[in-house]
Homo-oligomer: A and B are copies of this chain.
């Protein structure tokens, strides 16, 4: 690669790209941490994209019809921060660039949405950005179908690397996008042939272009340092109705002494190497300085966007008042006003009817109410529609023939589903929920963690939530999964005990604005425990007294979900022996810990012995059992301490000792 030739061939382009490269060199060197190689390799692609194609307005980073740019190779964060600084986003000051990777800067090691203006999604865990982008593109199609192409008509551009494309999630994302024919999605593959361990060929011989083609993508291969080729490829990608992959052959750490090597992937901070590289670039400005004329050229790209945004505003204003208000409501993520009253009416009816149903079925009944009043919901399942009960309220199927559909057959792709939902949520305008078996939380785990980290209120409908699943056996029986989810920061884990609690959990999940929710739902029928209507949402308190002791209170039984009816039964047995027993339903531990201490003490007073019952591991219950304040009570746990087994559900509960009888025994042993 002769830098001299590149400079001479397109001098104006070259200097704009060199600005991006010089910022990356300087920031990584100052931090002595980060990744120089990727920004240097992909600067040409990014420059052409922003210069010739991106619709964006730095003064309005939240403009709904902007193009989305997703850096799936999040370690190359300085490419993104450089773009934001150069094009004039207000919060991305030069000071921030200088504080790259330092405490409290906007320039975190990997781009974090919410933390940094105009960062569309949090990337770094490889493959996630690519998989998010599928959700962005789905949301765009859905909204265009609802509101028309005059107000919704933008593209999602992604840079993905070898790492993204080796991760399994890339397969799920690519196949889903191909099937859904997401024509507004354009992925650049930063094909530099290098990973951390060395050449890509050490671990991979996959021909990526053929692979995308096999899943229905439009594919092109170009020199990633040729601005004309890049421009032409983007134009062709936009013209094709399929999602597009542009395989851009690039040189990692272009122009440095470590170009095309694994050493070029990470920190390049040797002052001599940096000086020599800048010299090769023909870049003479001091560190962190961008010559005024070059900065002006970058800012002009943003000005083009301001004009486009103004035109778009006219189109939005031309909508009917009702339609415009609806557009604004869904983009803000506000639940419709009727939701609360509709759910209250449903709760009342459910309490009065008092039917025994599985909570996965309860969830379907609630969704039937929700989907009729919330046109922004977008449901789906990872090929378990009939088991997760996620298709309700007569919603149609979303596919290339019906963009008004709101139900997605995600296929056997839990991870891809979760990451796509993150993208949909971050795009805005839709409220995604999706189902699988609780045990397969494992497959979706990296994306579920990112929902929490990104404050994305995605709803996970996780059915078959215990050994109550029965015959499928231990591979399908969650045991540790409630513990895992409860250990994850910023995640609300709901395990409702009956239809009423399920409705309350759904209401909370849909009104949470900044955290994901998991609904853990039973396969098996559960006896109703909330048979008296209360308009107040008791689940909002996390835990509450479901049944008060009749005799003098000597025991407190706590349980969640399918085990609440066991607690109620055990309490009746204990009371029959004169042992006063309170039952506390615990549908959501996180919300309980957020209550004030006096409420928590009222629900769980010191003194009476405590037994918790849950068909999972003990770990998350220790704090409630052993007493937050120490020295409060004797306690015991009725649950699982190993994996499950294959047999009918009722046999398993009996064999593993999760019964009212076992509970009674443990209480009596402590008195």
Contacts and interface: CB of A to CB of B under 8 A. Distances in A.
A443 interface: yes
A210 B205 contact: no
Contact of A166 (B75, B412, B641): B412
Nearest to A622: B622
Interface residues of A, number: 117
Contact of A483 (B204, B416, B483, B640): B483
Given A103-B651, A109-B471, A475-B74, A168 B202 contact: no
Contacts of A633: 630-631
A203 B411 contact: yes
Interface in A402-417: 409-413, 415-416
Interface string A180-201: 0000000000000001111001
A110 B476 contact: yes
A453 B411 contact: no
A162 interface: yes
A480 B471 contact: no
Contacts of A561: none
Interface stretch (A220-228, A284-292, A486-494, A576-584): A486-494
A489 B642 contact: yes
Interface string A150-180: 0000000000001100111111100110110
A210 B175 CA distance: 13
Contact of A386 (B103, B172, B196, B471): B196
Nearest to A491: B480
Interface string A379-409: 0010111110000000001010000000001
A648 B169 CA distance: 30
Contact of A471 (B31, B172, B472): B31
Nearest to A448: B442
A483 B487 contact: yes
A9 to B, nearest CB: 33
A424 to B, nearest CB: 16
Contacts of A33: 470-471, 648
Given A484-B484, A619-B483, A175 B197 contact: no
Contacts of A513: none
Interface string A456-491: 000000000000001111111001100110111110
B108 A646 contact: yes
Nearest to A628: B626
Contact of A214 (B211, B386, B445): B211
A203 B180 CA distance: 8
A91 B383 CA distance: 35
A169 B166 contact: no
A374 to B, nearest CB: 23
Contact of A475 (B103, B125, B179, B645): B125
Contacts of A643: 452-453, 489-490
A34 interface: yes
A176 B203 contact: yes
Interface string A29-51: 00101100000000000000000
Given A203-B411, A449-B442, A487-B617, A103 B473 contact: no
A507 interface: no
A13 interface: no
A298 interface: no
B215 A415 contact: no
Contacts of A109: 471-473, 475-476, 646
Contacts of A618: 623
A632 interface: yes
A442 to B, nearest CB: 4
B207 A214 contact: yes
Given A33-B470, A197-B383, A473-B124, A179 B203 contact: yes
Nearest to A482: B487
A372 interface: no
B476 A204 contact: no
B168 A415 contact: yes
A440 interface: yes
Contacts of A208: 214
B171 A168 contact: yes
Contacts of A112: 473-475, 646
Quick one: which of A162, A210, A214 has the most chain B CB within 10 A? Answer: A214
Contacts of A479: 489
A206 B215 contact: yes
A110 B214 contact: no
Interface string A88-109: 0000000000000111110011
Contacts of A452: 643
A623 B619 CA distance: 8
Interface string A640-671: 11110111100110010000000000000000
Interface of A: 31, 33-34, 74-75, 101-105, 108-110, 112, 122-126, 162-163, 166-172, 175-176, 178-179, 195-198, 201-208, 210-211, 213-216, 381, 383-387, 397, 399, 409-413, 415-416, 439-440, 442-443, 445-446, 449-450, 452-453, 470-476, 479-480, 483-484, 486-490, 617-620, 622-623, 625-627, 630-635, 640-643, 645-648, 651-652, 655
12 contacts: A103-B645, A125-B439, A166-B172, A166-B175, A168-B415, A168-B443, A171-B171, A195-B383, A196-B387, A211-B211, A211-B214, A630-B634
Given A75-B472, A207-B215, 11 more contacts: A112-B475, A168-B168, A175-B205, A197-B384, A202-B399, A202-B411, A490-B643, A619-B619, A630-B631, A631-B632, A631-B634
Ranked 9 nearest A-B pairs via Cβ: A168-B168, A626-B626, A203-B411, A622-B622, A171-B171, A124-B475, A483-B487, A108-B646, A103-B647
